[in-house]
Amino acid sequence: MLRLPLRKLGQAFESLNPFGINESTLRVIRSMVEVSMIIDGHTRGVRPITDMAAFVLRRNTSQHNMMSLASGEELGVGEVSSKCLYESIRHAVMIYSVAVTFPLPPLTGVFGKLATALKNIMETSKFDPCWQLCPKALLWILVLGGIAASNTENRAWYVQNVEAVSGALKLSEWHNVVENIEEYLWLESACDNGGRILWDEVINDRLLQMGL
């Protein structure tokens, strides 16, 4: 039996179509949710993978489809309402994929590159109204970006912005943060440790701002 939060995995994206994502992206995310559930069941010993070749093919197909998604500039007119939200989600999904569904070692440098690209997209669009309309999606994007930015010069930027958004949402504990992002793409076994370390830095930054 899947834990309740995992049964909600990916559901928050449904409400973002067609504002921040399109049908193609939604199909890719659904396939990544299915792969994530298989990984979760296997790692917890609840439902071990019995046909590894079939799983690898499924995972690779999902990864190929994700990497084949159009960039914001390649989208047709009217496909999404907010290209900056679309691009931010696309990059956050890429971070999730290389951390969870198609894991790559940090030595490849892919995490830092994706975190930098994501930061640049969000900085360029920081005054876009999409962020006020979708604060939980923004929080999820920033948390994944912050985890990917570990040990890079962009980490502080992510810490400051996670602190600002979590403060606006009145979130004071890590479990409150998870409750707000677990309906996007989030797998506790792969993401929680990095998220907790990021959150510790957010709390320290918050305390510093309060002069404590």
CA distances 138 to 41, 48, 53, 125, 158, Å, are 28, 34, 36, 12, 11
Average pLDDT, stretch 49-56?
Answer: 97
Give residue 107's pLDDT band: very low, low, confident or very high (50, 70, 90).
confident
Q: Distance between the two ends of the chain, CA-based, in angstroms?
A: 44
Burial of residue 194 (CB within 10 Å: 0-12, 13-18, 19+) is: middle
Give residue 2's pLDDT band: very low, low, confident or very high (50, 70, 90).
very low
Is the confidence at residue 61, as pLDDT, over 80?
A: yes
Q: Could you give the dihedral angle defined by the CA atoms of residues 98, 7, 189 and 68, in that order, rounded to the nearest 10 degrees? A: 0
Which tens digits make up the pLDDT trace of 9-42? Answer: 999 999 999 899 999 999 999 999 999 999 999 9
Give residue 210's pLDDT band: very low, low, confident or very high (50, 70, 90).
confident
Give residue 155's pLDDT band: very low, low, confident or very high (50, 70, 90).
very high
With pLDDT > 70 as the criterion, what percentage of the chain qualifies?
97
Tokens of 151: 């040990």
Give residue 1's pLDDT band: very low, low, confident or very high (50, 70, 90).
very low
